[in-house]
């Protein structure tokens, strides 16, 4: 029974675990969630084996899950001079990609409705109207939300005064 690295505070490990549980309900694997949680609370970028040791998981899992998290824009890879390992850190403009991923999901559903063949609701005005209404709401809310995201980005995005 491998133990988690002792350098991790109990409260930190706790929060990481809760984040992982949350991520699990969002379609990630538990380890994926742990990685994200660990990086979110990390003072500095971490290497693959650092994560593996820290989270008591195999390097195979870390490798797979980091790639998945990266593809979804939640984390990014960085290098360190004089070190050939790859380091991972939370995406620099974190809120944007997080929300963008969610936006993308909605769009997929909207597209699904749009693609509904014309013949599907033929003869049934009630269905046709329901689909139209739903689609209209999605369009409206998606647009509003994109705007808000854009606004936030402009308001906060530029100042890189670390």
Partner DNA sequence: TTAAAGATTCAGTGTTGCTTGAACATACTG
Partner DNA sequence: CAGTATGTTCAAGCAACACTGAATCTTTAA
Q: Give the shortest CB-70-to-a copy of itself separation in angstroms.
A: 18
The CA distance from 149 to 97, in Å, is 10
* SS percent in the chain: helix, strand, coil, step 5: 65, 10, 25
Q: Residue 33 has which token pair?
A: 């969630």
Burial of 128 (0-12, 13-18, 19+ CB in 10 A): middle
Nearer to a copy of itself (CB atom), residue 63 or residue 145:
145
Q: Residue 134 has which token pair?
A: 């739903």
Locate the DSSP E strands across the chain: 46-47, 75-80, 83-90
Q: Which of residues 119-158 bind a copy of itself (CB under 8 A)?
A: 119-121, 124, 126-127, 130-131, 133-134, 136-138, 140-141, 144-145, 148-149, 151-152, 156
Binding site for DNA (CB under 7 A): 29-32, 47-49, 56-61, 63-67, 83-86
Site residues, a copy of itself (CB under 8 A): 9, 11-12, 15, 18-19, 22, 25-27, 40-43, 90, 94-96, 99, 102, 105-106, 108-109, 112, 115-117, 119-121, 124, 126-127, 130-131, 133-134, 136-138, 140-141, 144-145, 148-149, 151-152, 156
């Amino acid at each position: 029974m491998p133990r988690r690295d002792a350098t991790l505070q109990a409260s930190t490990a706790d929060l990481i675990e809760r984040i992982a549980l949350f991520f699990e309900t969002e379609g990630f694997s538990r380890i994926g969630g742990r990685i994200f949680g660990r990086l979110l609370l990390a003072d500095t970028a971490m290497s693959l084996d650092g994560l593996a040791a820290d989270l008591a998981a195999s390097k195979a899992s870390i490798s797979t899950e980091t790639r998945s998290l990266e593809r979804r824009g939640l984390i990014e890879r960085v290098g360190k001079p004089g070190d050939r390992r790859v380091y991972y850190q939370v995406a620099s403009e974190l809120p944007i990609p997080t929300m963008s991923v969610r936006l993308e999901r909605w769009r997929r559903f909207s597209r699904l409705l749009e693609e509904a063949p014309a013949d599907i609701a033929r003869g049934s005005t009630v269905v046709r109207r329901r689909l139209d209404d739903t689609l209209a709401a999605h369009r409206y809310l998606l647009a509003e939300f994109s705007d808000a995201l854009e606004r936030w980005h402009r308001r906060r995005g530029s100042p890189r005064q670390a």
